[in-house]
Amino acid sequence: GINAEYMGFIVILIMAYIPTMSKDAADEQIYYVDENTRSESEAEYTTPKGIRPDIARFPYCIVWTPIPFISWLLPFIGHLGISCSRGIIYDFAGSNYVSIDNFSFGPPHKYIRLDITEDQKHTFDQAIRDSTASFQKQEYSFFSNNCHCFVADVLNRFELYGSSGYTMLNVLWMTITKSAYISFVHLFWTYLPLMVMLSSLFTFFSIMRRQAST
């Protein structure tokens, strides 16, 4: 028969694939500008509708990346940022510090495209600027005032979908249910540490069970 560790590894792979498929995310397509027509001006080649993972541009998106050690054990927890109409990422990275165009903990692994129209662009960008100014004067707390709170504050100021009641937990749930991984490679690297640890546990307990039965 198949050893317990191999069965466990197969189950983990199946479970890891499930979070990538939400209705909104599955219909999302990544848009790449033809390199032959790229301009040196960012404003020209980074369009409001164009996602460019290669240069970390995600217009109107919430972006997510793993946090070492924490995301290895709990892959649904990670670091969040939010991007303005030009795709530049803003993230609350520490006390009195909002990082701009330098996403903490590495490039995004997944994103949520927000339903924002072109005529709402300036209002959305202003909400990000206002939240940035506010959080640059706030102390960071992993449990109560973190990157999720920063994103929630932007959404509340903008009143996304007519709501101003976004919280850290609302935003966390959005990243679990409505996000799309940039590629299978990003999915793989997100879940690889957990798969290695769980596979090691399966192997350990399988060996212990065999020794106990001899």
Q: For residue 32, give the nearest of 60, 54, 59, 61 by alpha carbon.
A: 54
3-state secondary structure 175-187: HHHCCEECCHHHH
Least confident of 1-10, 36-45, 157-166: 36-45
What pLDDT score was predicted for residue 22?
37
Please report how many Cα atoms fall inside a 13 Å half-sphere around the Cα of residue 103, on the Cβ side.
25
Distance CA 82, CA 89 (A): 5
Distance CA 137, CA 22 (A): 36
pTM: 0.74
Distance CA 156, CA 207 (A): 52
Least confident of 76-90, 152-166, 191-205: 191-205
Average pLDDT of span 79-93: 97
Distance CA 128, CA 201 (A): 44
